[in-house]
């Protein structure tokens, strides 16, 4: 067979193979594009599910009325912080403080404006209170007009400063004005009729309490007892019980009364629960760290 005839025969025989190869390549490229599209769709769906999950977690951890953390989130946070103190090396235990704050005077707001508007006032005030704490602190609604504040790495002196600041904020917080064209006053001239009583409890070290461990319930009970003593004083103020975990449970041991008006203020933003940013985590609760005067509050 001559060479031209051989080449022509090979070309005829290889044409189907070349066509099959081209078809396979086309199908492969289509399959790759389809896989990329499916992967992109799955990634988009995964992002949506993650966003929905985060929203559900935030909803499950936030109080629907005030927008701050709820009791469930507070309990988890307090348990974690108490465990962190308990697991620390002896002599290196970080301080931990708990504030129990009760706002009084809302009965007059409800009587004058109704429950819906009183709820808006409470939400506005709760968001304002979150401005006064650091990012690492946790403010949560405990029930009614009661709030709890967890202050990691904060001793009694720092907790007392925060308590004074919160009491001052409650007294001076401007109430909402719903009148047409009404302007919101910078500072109520004669007060807003609201006062706050704060009970302070601190956890000192890992000395065992009843049951062999430092329990969250002991800290909550000490803060509640201190709040009861603060209520007895009246007029707004704070009462600090002795450190919890330093020995037998003692009611009101080494207590201190306070609640002056001259406490300085640290500015900040809205609650993390509401999507805002509070105080930087490195800002300590010490008088030297607070340099902004109270009159700067809007």
Q: Which of 43, 61, 79 is the last residue of a domain?
A: 61
Low-confidence ranges of the chain (pLDDT < 50): 178-180, 182-183, 185-188, 206-213, 245-284, 286-298
pLDDT for res 107: 87
Are 172 and 196 in contact by the 8 Å Cβ rule? The answer is no
CA dihedral sign of residues 276, 169, 171, 237:
positive
pLDDT for the residue numbered 11: 67
Whether residues 215 and 289 fall in one domain: yes
Is 46 in the same domain as 80? no
Tell me 287's DSSP state. G
pLDDT given at position 108: 86
Q: What is the pLDDT of residue 92?
A: 82
DSSP string for residues in 162-211: HHHHHHHHHHHPPPP--STT----SS-TT--S-EEEEEEEEE-TT---TT
User: In the prediction, which pLDDT does 193 show?
Assistant: 82
CATH for 259: 3.30.70.270
32 and 95 assigned to the same domain: no
Tell me if 237 sits within 8 A of 198, measured CB to CB.
Answer: yes
Which helix H or strand E contains 140, and what residues bound it? strand 138-143
Residues 29 and 77 in one domain: no
Residues ≥6 apart with Cβ < 8 Å to 259: 163, 164, 167, 198, 230, 233, 235, 236, 237, 238
* The pLDDT of residue 21: 80
Beta-carbon neighbour count of residue 123 at 10 Å? Answer: 19
Q: Which contiguous run of DSSP H or E holds residue 106? A: helix 106-113
**Alpha carbons 288 and 284: distance in angstroms, whole number:** 9
Using the structure block, give the residue that is written with the tokens 């006032």.
Answer: 121
DSSP 219-258: HHHHHHHHHHHHHHH-SSEEEEPPPBTSSS--TTTT-EEE
Let me know whether 211 and 250 are in one domain.
yes
User: Do 91 and 146 reside in the same domain of the chain?
Assistant: yes
Last residue of a domain, one of 26, 42, 61: 61
Same domain, 236 and 88: yes
Domain containing 11 equals 1-61
């Amino acid at each position: 067979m001559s060479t031209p005839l051989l080449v022509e025969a090979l070309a005829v025989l290889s044409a189907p193979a070349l066509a099959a190869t081209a078809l396979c390549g086309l199908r492969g490229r289509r399959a790759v594009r389809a896989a990329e599209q499916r992967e992109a769709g799955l990634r988009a769906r995964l992002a949506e599910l993650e966003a929905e999950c985060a929203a559900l977690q935030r909803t499950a951890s936030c109080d629907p009325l005030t927008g701050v953390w709820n009791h469930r989130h507070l309990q988890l946070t307090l348990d974690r912080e108490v465990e962190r103190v308990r697991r620390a090396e002896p002599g290196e235990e970080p301080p931990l403080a708990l504030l129990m704050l009760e706002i009084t005077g809302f009965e007059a707001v409800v009587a004058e404006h109704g429950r819906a508007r009183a709820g808006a006032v409470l939400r506005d005030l709760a968001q304002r209170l979150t401005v006064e704490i650091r990012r690492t602190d946790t403010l949560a609604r405990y029930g009614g007009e009661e709030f709890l504040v967890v202050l990691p790495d904060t001793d009694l002196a720092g907790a007392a400063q925060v308590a004074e600041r919160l009491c001052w904020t409650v007294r001076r917080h401007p109430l909402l004005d719903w009148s047409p064209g009404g302007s919101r006053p910078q500072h109520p001239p004669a007060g807003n009729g609201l006062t706050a009583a704060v009970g302070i409890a601190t956890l000192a070290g890992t000395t065992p309490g009843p049951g062999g461990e430092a329990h969250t319930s002991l800290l909550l009970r000490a803060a509640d007892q201190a709040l009861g003593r603060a209520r007895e004083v009246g007029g707004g103020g704070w009462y600090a019980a002795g450190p919890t975990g330093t020995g037998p449970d003692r009611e009101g041991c080494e207590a201190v009364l306070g609640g002056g008006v001259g406490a300085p203020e640290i500015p900040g933003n809205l609650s993390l629960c509401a999507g805002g940013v509070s105080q930087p985590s490195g800002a300590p609760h010490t008088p030297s760290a607070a340099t902004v005067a109270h009159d700067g509050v809007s």
